Structure 1
Amino acid sequence: MHDPVSGQVYTVCYLMLGIFGVPANVIAIVIFARGKCGLSKCITHYLVAMAATDLIVVFTNVIVNRIFSVYYPSSFLSVTPTCSLKTVLLYAAKDSSVWLTVAFTWDRCVAICHQNLRNKYCTARTARVVIVLVCVVSGLRNIPWYFSITPLYVVDGVPWYCIFKSDFYSSNAWIAFDLINLVGTPFVPLFLILLFNALTIRHILVSSRVRKALRGWTYAKKESDVEMENRRQSIILLLAISANLIVLWLTFVAHYATVRITGNYFYSSSSAMFVFQEAGYMLLLLSCSTNTCIYAVIQTKFREEMKYLVSYPFRYLASSFKLGCGLI
């Protein structure tokens, strides 16, 4: 538990994350699911899945695990079996969110760089299969977290709260599992995202040079090239995605490395390490609130759909009011 002052500060921060993250992801799900953003069904499936997993991350990690634990510390969510299951869901949702971003980045890389595979791989059916596989594998590989938990204490035969077992930080098996978990998320995903983005950007730049040469510099200056503008937007989008994940995960990774190197796993809520830890968690969770937005904000049709969605309740009330006045 936090001390009173720090507890209020962190609670407000997580409350802000929840207030921002839940509506942002819900709006993204609704807009993409409507299918009016001019995107293929393959892309739409990925974006809806990414927004859904991000929403689950925000709900489980921010609302249930952080806010509820402060305001309702003795609820059924604090019973050890429920707490252990919640831990599995936390990690599974986080892994699904990150790896779906990898899958989507790879899909775009194939679509842009490998035209011969595009028609076979970049389909709605493939997207659905990949999404299901990512979620299932993420869930299965995080099941061991359930068995890493032990009760903090037992009252009248009921185990309460969750702490890691005493041998979690010393057992070779648990250390290996924890290390594999960290490598699996986020090191490998970040590396793959950077690699796929680099290949895609390189292909776009090379293609743009060839296109300019074929069109001719004079003609290119006089008349805008819609295709090259779309490619420029793609580069901006890919770089934004990479920067978002790397920057917002960096503090979390740095804290993990510091803890493992120093062997200092326990510290008070007033220590600098605790602030370091919470900053890492907050930035990590923030990435799940901005990930889908980065894809969406750049698209004009998404903004138009968002304006329509936000204004719909007011237009509905106005039309109902006019209809009511007409009946009087």
Structure 2
Amino acid sequence: MIMAEINIDVNSTVLLGAYPECVNTAKQNTVLNETLFGKDASGTRVPTVLIGSEDYPALYKIIALTVPLVIFTVGILGNLLVIIVISRRRSMQTPTNCYLISLSVADCLLLLSATLPSIPEPFFRRNHWPWGRAMCSVLVFVQYLGADASALSITAFTLERYIAICHPMKAQTICTTRRAKRIIISLWGFSILYCTPWLGLTTMTYTVACDGSSPLHTCTYRLERESYLLYYMTDFFIFYVFPLLLSGILYSFIIRILFNKSALDSDGSKAPDYSNRCRQTSKSRFQNDDNYALCLQVIRMLVVIVAVFAMLWLPYRAIVVYNSLANNKYLNIWFWLFCRVMVYINSAVNPILYSLMSLKFRKAYRRILSCRE
């Protein structure tokens, strides 16, 4: 879980060793069993830990406040602009752009459920969850939903481009806007069903602070961390490893086809048939070259989106896998901040990539922003 993962990992008995004064307090407590077990919102006894109510360092507070705030502002405005541009301009309503809308919606969910609540986090005590029991489950669910839906959206537009370019005859019936909308509804339905267990797998604990301050409310696992290992590994492979492997294979086929086309053109022979923008028609050679250049532009943009997704999600995915398998979990707050910021950037950067790499998006942005629509 992107935002609460650090809180969940910190809320473990490993930290008892980090606060010897708390261990001594626990040993002297005549009701040790009740001290180490608290109750969640439903009254169920759950493990808890005696910890100190540490504050975040000043530099950490500044960075953890300003960076997510900037990312959230840019990301929300950019993704909303993408949704508006594609929705309002008929020429932009292609199958690929339908998947880009799905990706923008998923990114907005991540920004709202992970980035926005993290902005005031440095001003609370470390490990404290101020948003309540219901928000603990809901925000974790929405975070996973946004992350998984974005991975599936990337996989979907990769498949769509592969079929459109490598199997143009099939693409005439498969790569349609109507079918793309049905696929988007299906992948969101699957993501919702897959992520629903998180609504019941998280809970709130009320942790006793050994320095006498008010109890810490922590969003944490309902079960032991080890019980979630299969879920984490499944999530890692289905929504990170598999999309990247599939994208790498399919884009290699696409690039080979496009280079083959270039070779045929240089020899003066007839170019293969392409669907949609890449389809060769009986128009002038200049027009055919324009279509081909536009196709390459779209492919380059999509490849960059996949590469950015892989790089920015890697630190977070790697540390979650490591902490799920290692006995001594890595809990450095600076590294966790770095991992989370990378995920936040991934949710905000796509509209910028569209603008930098797509002439059609740049023109559409200008028309919308200048109110010429």
The alpha-carbon deviation at position 76 of structure 1 amounts to: 10
The alpha-carbon deviation at position 71 of structure 1 amounts to: 6.1
The alpha-carbon deviation at position 162 of structure 1 amounts to: 1.1
- Once residues 195 and 163 of structure 2 are traced to their aligned partners in structure 1, the CA distance between those partners, rounded to angstroms, is 29
Q: 1:72 to 1:33 in 2, by over 3 A?
A: farther
Q: Tell me, what secondary structure is at the counterpart of 1:152?
A: strand
Matching of residues 216-235 of structure 1 within 5 Å? 225-235=289-299
**Aligned residue for 1:180?**
234
The alpha-carbon deviation at position 123 of structure 1 amounts to: 1.0
The alpha-carbon deviation at position 10 of structure 1 amounts to: 0.9
Contact 2:82/2:351 (8 A) holds in 1: yes
Amino acid paired to 1:66: S
**Aligned residue for 1:297?**
356
Task: Select 1:42's aligned residue among 95, 98, 106.
Answer: 95
The alpha-carbon deviation at position 266 of structure 1 amounts to: 6.4
- Once residues 171 and 363 of structure 2 are traced to their aligned partners in structure 1, the CA distance between those partners, rounded to angstroms, is 29
The alpha-carbon deviation at position 23 of structure 1 amounts to: 0.7
Task: Select 1:87's aligned residue among 140, 145, 148.
Answer: 140
Amino acid paired to 1:134: L
**Pairwise CA RMSD of aligned residues?**
3.0
Q: 1:260 to 1:76 in 2, by over 3 A?
A: closer
Q: Within the alignment, does 1:108 sit opposite 2:167 as a pair? A: no
Amino acid paired to 2:312: L
Q: Within the alignment, does 1:164 sit opposite 2:221 as a pair? A: yes
Q: Tell me, what secondary structure is at the counterpart of 1:151?
A: strand
- Once residues 300 and 360 of structure 2 are traced to their aligned partners in structure 1, the CA distance between those partners, rounded to angstroms, is 17
Q: 1:24 to 1:34 in 2, by over 3 A?
A: same
Matching of residues 21-36 of structure 1 within 5 Å? 21-36=75-90
Contact 2:206/2:217 (8 A) holds in 1: yes
**Aligned residue for 1:67?**
119
The structure 1 segments of at least 4 consecutive aligned residues displaced by more than 4 Å after TM superposition are 68-73
Q: Tell me, what secondary structure is at the counterpart of 2:268?
A: helix
- Computing the radius of gyration from Cα coordinates, the structure with the larger value is 2
The alpha-carbon deviation at position 265 of structure 1 amounts to: 3.1
Give TM-score scaled by structure 2 length.
Answer: 0.71
Q: Within the alignment, does 1:252 sit opposite 2:316 as a pair? A: yes
Contact 1:29/1:51 (8 A) holds in 2: yes
Q: 1:57 to 1:210 in 2, by over 3 A?
A: same
1:303-327 per-residue CA deviation (whole Å, 9 max, x = no partner) reads 1221222233xx99xxxxxxxxxxx
Structure 1 unaligned spans of 5+? 217-221, 268-272, 317-328
Q: 1:26 to 1:235 in 2, by over 3 A?
A: closer
Amino acid paired to 2:219: C
Amino acid paired to 2:197: P
Structure 2 unaligned spans of 5+? 1-6, 8-54, 209-215, 271-284
Give TM-score scaled by structure 1 length.
Answer: 0.80
1:164-197 per-residue CA deviation (whole Å, 9 max, x = no partner) reads 23512x23xx211111111122111122222222
**Aligned residue for 2:202?**
149
Moved more, 290-299 or 94-103: 290-299
- Once residues 178 and 22 of structure 1 are traced to their aligned partners in structure 2, the CA distance between those partners, rounded to angstroms, is 28
**Aligned residue for 1:126?**
179
Percent of paired sites with the same residue: 21
**Aligned residue for 1:54?**
107
Q: 1:264 to 1:7 in 2, by over 3 A?
A: farther
- Once residues 310 and 97 of structure 2 are traced to their aligned partners in structure 1, the CA distance between those partners, rounded to angstroms, is 24
- Once residues 254 and 69 of structure 1 are traced to their aligned partners in structure 2, the CA distance between those partners, rounded to angstroms, is 23
- Once residues 100 and 92 of structure 1 are traced to their aligned partners in structure 2, the CA distance between those partners, rounded to angstroms, is 12
**Aligned residue for 2:302?**
238
1:194-235 per-residue CA deviation (whole Å, 9 max, x = no partner) reads 22222211211122212222259xxxxx97933442343244
The alpha-carbon deviation at position 154 of structure 1 amounts to: 8.4
- Once residues 29 and 286 of structure 1 are traced to their aligned partners in structure 2, the CA distance between those partners, rounded to angstroms, is 18
